[in-house]
Chain A
Amino acid sequence: MVNNELPPINFRWELIWENRGILAKGLSVAISVSITALMLSLVLGLLLALTRMSRFKLISGVSSVYVNIFRGIPALVSVIWVYFGWSLLFGHNFSVFQSGVIALTLLYSAFFSEIFRSALQAIPTGQREAGLALGMSRLKIFRSIIMPQATKIALPNIGSMYIGMVKDTSTFAVIGLAEVVRVVQDLNSINFQPFVLFTAAALLYVFVAFIVDQIFRSIEKNFSYPPTGKVAKFLTKGKKTRIDKLMA
């Protein structure tokens, strides 16, 4: 006779607290990989946006092809290419950390390129014309007039993209990077509590998303006109006293 009865459900939620140290370690790995990749993707993304807006068809074509390919590739495929593919093709191994960073950068620079491109195109042409009419160089116009305004427009989108980057680090469990999901898989193989442990992972990602959102909101305040953020106020303190003196 076959016993069709399920065993009694026994959720061991205390496992989360008991393993808080190792879970936190996993989270810190996820954050280090994604922040490093964020910095690199921002630089590469801006370069791609600028080259894509180039009037030279070859240059804009190359970055257009790059963007259209890489924004369509899943993080799992990207990291397998970088970690296994690269070493098979060239005999050189990236560490799991490096592979994670490169995989994320390849994908997200494509997204950031689109974010920057639309932000740059949203600046009215009159801004550039005013700079030119005032005898400013093109580089100076870009740096001091266009870029600060484009950054303000791009910031909210960069924030939500970064939340996506953190979540995509979960796929790097496949190459053995000790991020949140990998840690949870290891704990599960000992404790057989998938529901509890993967819920713990989910809670960690939600927590990070919340914090990232808060951080970006406070960064955005420093880019409002006039800036209301604490950092901007601190940085422009000297300017404010100078203006007060000039107005007196």
Chain B
Amino acid sequence: MEKRFSLIVSDTSTSQTLMELSGVRKTFGTVEVLHGIDLTIHKGNHVVIFGPSGSGKSTLLRSMNLLAEPNSGSVKFLGVEYGPGVDGQRKVRRGKSIALRQQVGMVFQQFNLFPHLSALDNIALPLRSAKGLSIKDAEERAALELKNVGLLNWAASYPGQLSGGQQQRVAIARALSLDPKIMLFDEPTSALDPELVGEVLSVMRKLAETGMTMVVVTHEMNFAKEVGDVNVFMEAGNIVEIGGRDFWTKSLSERTQQFIGSVL
């Protein structure tokens, strides 16, 4: 166990800043679900976001690729400003959301595979339309990605013919095929039967070991402990506490300790 820890730990102090959120606010109707979030993600970070339901974890994750467009605040990715910006600050350069999304991969709780396409085409379609690959190149790349998640033999199968765990692995392969610089996971194992959770987590663990920058919203505390090197505890639309690897034993806030105590 200790060895694996050392493999997937990232050095936060020296590495490049990938994504910077500042003052991100999000309102649904009259309810503000994010009250001005600040978070910096460095290259190679494995950020785990946890907290009680309704705390804004998923919304925060979805603001990182503008699926949930913040009402105000700055979403900066590799120096380019994508969000609406912080009030009173002048924006340097504002990128298009499609440009951001082409660099940010996302995996959903409900997999969101396209049911009318085979596993192979689920991956090949975005490769063709977002990356402009030819049919042949897209299919070859798709086959390679399926192989990496151990599902090449299922290339011709449709999502309805796959188990939940297999579907989620295809979804991960699909996101990875576009060479994202960061991967967002929105409760990737919450919709799975308990016996299928392991296969998805092991794909994610392998991905973490390659040094991929990851942001994971999860209730899998053991996985969080193992992989997370930036641990974010959220409650009621605010970040209560951010900590490193020693977070689980040394977290300062009483509320965090209480939550950790209740879920572990």
Contacts and interface: CB of A to CB of B under 8 A. Distances in A.
Decide whether A and B are members of one complex. Answer: yes
Given A133-B106, A144-B129, A149-B116, A242 B139 contact: yes
A62 interface: no
Given A126-B112, A132-B67, A135-B101, A247 B158 contact: no
A140 interface: yes
B160 A134 contact: no
A226 B143 contact: no
Contacts of B136: 242
A148 B116 CA distance: 7
Given A133-B101, A135-B101, A225 B106 contact: no
A119 to B, nearest CB: 13
Given A133-B101, A134-B174, A242-B139, A127 B112 contact: yes
Contacts of A145: 114, 125
B130 A133 contact: no
B203 interface: no
A228 B104 CA distance: 36
A240 B156 contact: yes
A89 interface: no
A38 to B, nearest CB: 23
B155 interface: yes
Contact of A247 (B102, B129, B143): B143
B108 A135 contact: no
Contacts of A221: none
A140 B155 contact: no
Interface in A130-189: 130-137, 140, 144-145, 148-149, 152
A247 B119 CA distance: 12
Nearest to B115: A225
A32 B176 CA distance: 51
Interface string B119-157: 010000110011000001001100100000000110111
B140 A134 contact: no
Interface in B219-263: none
A246 B155 contact: yes
B178 interface: yes
Contacts of B120: 243, 246
Given A127-B114, A247-B143, A135 B125 contact: no
Interface residues of B, number: 37
A246 B178 contact: no
Contact of A134 (B101, B116, B156, B161): B101
B12 interface: no
A129 B178 CA distance: 16
B158 A140 contact: no
B98 A226 contact: no
Contacts of B113: 130
B108 A134 contact: no
A132, A134, A135: which has the most chain B beta carbons within 10 Å?
Answer: A134
A131 B118 CA distance: 16
B155 A137 contact: no
A226 B114 CA distance: 12
Nearest to B125: A144
Nearest to B120: A243
Contact of B116 (A124, A137, A225, A247): A225
B116 A246 contact: no
Q: Which 6 A-B pairs have the closest CB atoms?
A: A135-B102, A130-B112, A134-B126, A135-B130, A246-B143, A133-B106
11 contacts: A135-B101, A136-B129, A152-B116, A225-B158, A225-B159, A226-B161, A243-B139, A246-B120, A246-B155, A247-B153, A247-B155
Given A137-B129, A246-B143, 11 more contacts: A126-B110, A133-B65, A134-B130, A135-B101, A135-B178, A136-B130, A137-B98, A145-B114, A149-B115, A242-B139, A246-B152
